[in-house]
Amino acid sequence: MTFNTEQEAFWAGDFGTEYIQRNQGDALLASNLDFFAKALRSARGVKSCIEFGANIGMNLKALKLLHPGINAHAIEINADAAQQLANVIPREQVHHGSILDFIPEIPCDLALIKGVLIHINPEVLPQVYDKLVAATGRYLLVAEYYNPAPVVIPYRGHTDRLFKRDFAGEIMDRHPALQLVDYGFAYRRDPNFPQDDITWFLMEKR
């Protein structure tokens, strides 16, 4: 598999595989249940979803508990993660590859990206924004590190691997049909259900 950016190769390789071990377990599932219950409290009629950068499916596991019977699809660049993801949703609905190569076909009620945009090369973000919007028929949930202006942050000893900015604001500026429905913050020091300092934005296509 060939990639257009260094960041894609980084997550498709050993670092992406090592990430799997750090991001699983019952405590994370509990935190994700709390997170999505809050982030999607204003969403109605969510019967299908697609997650961009799903890893092994910890977010989708929570969504399936909150919305039993949801028809879930996912995109994942790391082969080891994609293999495990096929235990969470049907294998034929796991799209193994880069988000940049994914072509949305049938839109879902909800498109979701959580902790992924921060790791994408900023030069290709407009392409990813367009794919997210094309993939949703109604709701888009973006959950990332927020900063009002673009900044680059060192990430586990690596450079140019973590970027913070106003992702949701840029998406809405680029796609005026999207309107903000709700937003919030999940703190890493929450005593019950911690998340990784994520700011989330729920938008609706109108």
What pLDDT digit, counting tens, does each position of 34-43 carry?
A: 999 999 999 9
Model-level pTM?
0.96
pLDDT band at 171 (very low <50, low <70, confident <90, very high): very high
Taking residues 195-203, report their average pLDDT: 97
Q: Model confidence over 131-141: pLDDT tens digits? A: 999 999 999 99
Predicted pLDDT at 155: 87
Looking at domain 6-205, its CATH superfamily turns out to be Vaccinia Virus protein VP39 (3.40.50.150)
Q: Model confidence over 44-59: pLDDT tens digits? A: 999 999 999 999 999 9
- Residue 1, pLDDT above cutoff 80: no
- Residue 173 φ then ψ, to 5°: -65, -40
- Each as own residue / partner, the long-range contacts of residues 154-157 (CB below 8 Å, 24 or more positions apart, any chain) are 155/119
Domain ranges of the chain: 6-205
- How big is the chain, counted in residues? 206
Q: Model confidence over 60-100: pLDDT tens digits? A: 999 999 999 999 999 999 999 999 999 999 999 999 999 99
